[in-house]
Amino acid sequence: MWRTSTRTGNGDQWGPCRSLDRTGKTPFETMICHCWAENSLFAVLSLGIEAGVWAHLSSDEQPRTVVAIADATGMEEAMLARLLKHVAAMGAGNTGGLGRCVLALPSYLRKTNYTSPTSMTDGNLQYDHDIKFNCSSGYTPMSAAWPSTSTWAAYSHGRPKWTDAGFYPVQERLLDDFDASCPDAAFLVDIGGNLGHNLQSFLDRFPTAPGRLVLQDLEHVISAIPPDSESSLSPRIERTVYDFHTPQPVKGARAYYMHSILHNWPDEVCCAILRNVKAAMCPGYSRLLINENVIPNTGAQWEATALDVLMLALLSSKKRTRVKCVRLLEEKAGLKVNEIDTFANGVESLIELVVPE
């Protein structure tokens, strides 16, 4: 029997709450929330409806483990855990503007029986556009609409940097023990460094840093950097064309740096990339610095979980938890994790690795 509710709701109370939420966010956080987090949440909630996750959870008031929910719904446990992390991080909040590709995720995962994708050429993005291509290559059928190098540079602007005070002790960990006996010695190699904004940021903070500073990226990226006379990039920064799927040409550098590279690739490809760096490193001296979102096993932050869902939708890849990072880097790639430094709210982390002696 249907009846009309006389409840008036909490509309008057929620208005000030929403205003406070907007006031408390920085412009950057507001942009990320609208562009990433809410889109991703809508996709995850839709997927949960289709897969029966919410129906299963609401069947009684008992808590469920991820394993139990996966068994009940037929979803892959690893996939389900990723999606539920984002729901928890977002508090199942309201949704905003919707991105086409992310919204195709429920349909794509239904087709794959809710299992983690492994192909970068036949994932959700390709399914949504009905064409196979590798969106991490230099050209795709969507190149005109794909975020440009300047987009990613703008994204990095204003975010915590690994050189910031209180993040990673650059002086003690890198500068103090630099071996300058060789005049051609490389201090820092930025692998897949885009337009050089990370190296420039490092040089701005440590203008007297010794050794060579080497920027490496694909030809179409390096060629997009203006010449020295028109560029804000220091002439000290060497601009070199390099594909990190090939052997690393700079040997024995004090530090090799990778920012948001590994989250684009499945474990097998990551291992191949890491092996190229490992072969160039000097045991006991060289450091590999990986700047990524390391998602905590519990209490994940919404920005990181939103990006994890986007990695799933766009690249068939993922943001990794701390446990999975260590497993990939040590057990699979054969490196040794010295430390993991995490800044502020946990969205940015720096992993320091060495070659085991």
Residues 124-171: pLDDT tens digits?
Answer: 777 776 666 555 554 444 444 444 444 555 556 667 789 988 889 999
Each domain of the chain, given as residue ranges in start order, spans: 24-138, 160-298+320-354
As a whole number, mean pLDDT of residues 173-202 equals: 93
Lowest mean pLDDT among 12-16, 220-224, 273-277: 12-16
* Catalytic position from the list 86, 157, 259, 263: 263
The amino acid present at 305, given as its one-letter code, is T
As a whole number, mean pLDDT of residues 9-28 equals: 61
Above 70 in pLDDT, residue 235?
Answer: yes
For 160-298+320-354, CATH gives 3.40.50.150
201 or 315, greater pLDDT: 201
Say whether 82 sits in a helix, a strand or coil: helix
- Residue 157: predicted pLDDT: 61
DSSP per-residue letters across 217-285: E-HHHHTTSPPGGG-SS-TTEEEEE--TTS--SS-S-SEEEEES-GGGS-HHHHHHHHHHHHHHS-TTT
Q: Mean pLDDT over all residues of the chain? A: 79
- CA of residue 43 relative to chain centroid, distance: 19
Residues 61-86: pLDDT tens digits?
Answer: 666 777 788 888 888 888 887 788 77
157 or 4, greater pLDDT: 157
| pLDDT band at residue 254 under the 50/70/90 scheme | very high
- Residue 164: predicted pLDDT: 87
Annotation marks residue 56 as catalytic: no
Biggest CA–CA distance in the chain, Å, is 86
As a whole number, mean pLDDT of residues 199-204 equals: 95
pLDDT over 90 for what percent of the chain?
A: 34
| pLDDT band at residue 294 under the 50/70/90 scheme | confident
Structural element, H or E, at residue 201: helix 197-205
- Residue 208: predicted pLDDT: 95
Say whether 291 sits in a helix, a strand or coil: strand
